[in-house]
Amino acid sequence: MLLEGRVISARSRSFTVETADGRLTCRVLKGLRNRFPNLVDPVAVGDLVKVRRGNENDSTIEEVAPRVNKISRPAVGREDHEQLIAANLGRAVIVQAVEPQWKTSTWDRYLVMAALGAVPPILALNKIDLDPESARAPEFDVYRALGIPVQSVSAVTGEGLPELIGHMAGGMTVFIGPSGVGKSSLINALGPGTGLRTGELSRGTGKGRHTTSWTELLQLDQGIEIVDSPGLRVLGLWGLEAHELAPLFPEFAGLIESCRFRVCTHIHEPDCAVRAAVESGEVAGFRYESFLRIRQALLDEVERPRGGRARRR
């Protein structure tokens, strides 16, 4: 008989699955692995799975349910393989900071990463203690108009953390963003000192770990769940091709159909609805700039495939 459960940690091909019968340490059935040859591992933290119970530390994941969404990226050193980091998420908190100075281009790249995996995003501007005024930047109104919440926070003073937690209810949260912005500090601050349980928070700052395949779910009070993984600290756009980029910008998505040409790069074609919207100010210029930069980066990647392999897919 198969037990249903949810994967709550993944480490070197060994998975912990939470079931009605408790937590089971599992491997993945070879046949399941073979069904997904492009995936480094066919399951990830957050996956809903069916497990055949074995002896201690010897249960087997035999089935995995279709994913609502996911964060994944090209595997390190095996760029033609997809590395799933987490699945079935409630939120991706995209973190930047007052220092190092945040950039719209960085928000936009991580927003594309979240959109690619269909994970709802929120922007968090950390280290607001260093300069409270920086929360007022006009760019944040552009994101809010797109339906993307923006929250300024401080892992040091705790400012904004209750509001951030308010956005984290009802699903697992991942923190993504460049290094040095305070992701680990925020995850730690959401544990101790906020009345949340800290028993699961045994990982310190996450520094000094060498494996990229260690991912686990931190379960806090109030049903708050955070997926912590070194793999989340790297920006990755798995399988995205340049012509698939525009619909991942929500304000472009509704315009694309109005371009004169069905296949439009939104760069030089006549009667391009995206460019018209940029010129009229309906679409923010900095968002269009980000689109151009990310598009060019995707094209460059095809020309110079990493690891010397054929283009990844």
List residues binding ligand GDP (CB under 6 A). Answer: 126-127, 129-130, 154-156, 179-185, 205
Using rule CB under 5 A, residue 220 touches Zn ion = no
Interacting span for Zn ion (CB under 5 A) from 48-56, 212-220, 253-261, 282-290: 253-261
- Least separation in angstroms between residue 97's CB and ligand GDP is 7
- Least separation in angstroms between residue 272's CB and Zn ion is 3
Q: Which residue is nearest to ligand GDP (CB)?
A: 182
Tokens representing 158 are: 């705790």
Instruction: Compare residues 15 and 107 and give the one whose CB is closer to ligand GDP.
Output: 107
**Among ligand GDP, Zn ion, none, partner that 266 touches (CB below 5 to 8 angstroms by kind):** Zn ion
Q: In the set 84, 148, 155, 264, which binds Zn ion (CB under 5 A)?
A: 264
Q: Determine the Cα–Cα distance for residues 183 and 52; give it in Å rounded to an integer.
A: 36
- Least separation in angstroms between residue 96's CB and ligand GDP is 9
Please check whether residue 234 is in contact with residue 110, taking contact to mean a CB–CB distance below 8 angstroms.
Answer: no
Instruction: Say how many residues touch Zn ion, by CB under 5 A.
Output: 5
Q: Determine the Cα–Cα distance for residues 130 and 161; give it in Å rounded to an integer.
A: 16
Within residues 271-300, the interface with Zn ion by CB under 5 A covers 272, 274
- Taken in order 281, 136, 196, 94, the sign of the CA dihedral is positive
Instruction: Compare residues 257 and 303 and give the one whose CB is closer to Zn ion.
Output: 257
- Least separation in angstroms between residue 202's CB and ligand GDP is 16
Please check whether residue 5 is in contact with residue 18, taking contact to mean a CB–CB distance below 8 angstroms.
Answer: yes
- Least separation in angstroms between residue 193's CB and ligand GDP is 13
Residue 18 vs residues 161, 169, 251: alpha-carbon distances, Å: 28, 20, 39
Kindly state the DSSP code that residue 281 receives in the 8-state scheme.
T
Instruction: Compare residues 89 and 277 and give the one whose CB is closer to Zn ion.
Output: 277
Residue 118 vs residues 65, 215, 280: alpha-carbon distances, Å: 16, 20, 29
Q: Determine the Cα–Cα distance for residues 32 and 25; give it in Å rounded to an integer.
A: 17
**Among ligand GDP, Zn ion, none, partner that 127 touches (CB below 5 to 8 angstroms by kind):** ligand GDP
Residue 145 buriedness (CB in 10 A; 0-12 / 13-18 / 19+): exposed
Residue 57 buriedness (CB in 10 A; 0-12 / 13-18 / 19+): exposed
Instruction: Compare residues 14 and 179 and give the one whose CB is closer to ligand GDP.
Output: 179
**Among Zn ion, ligand GDP, none, partner that 264 touches (CB below 5 to 8 angstroms by kind):** Zn ion
- Least separation in angstroms between residue 154's CB and ligand GDP is 4
List residues near Zn ion by CB under 5 A: 259, 264, 266, 272, 274
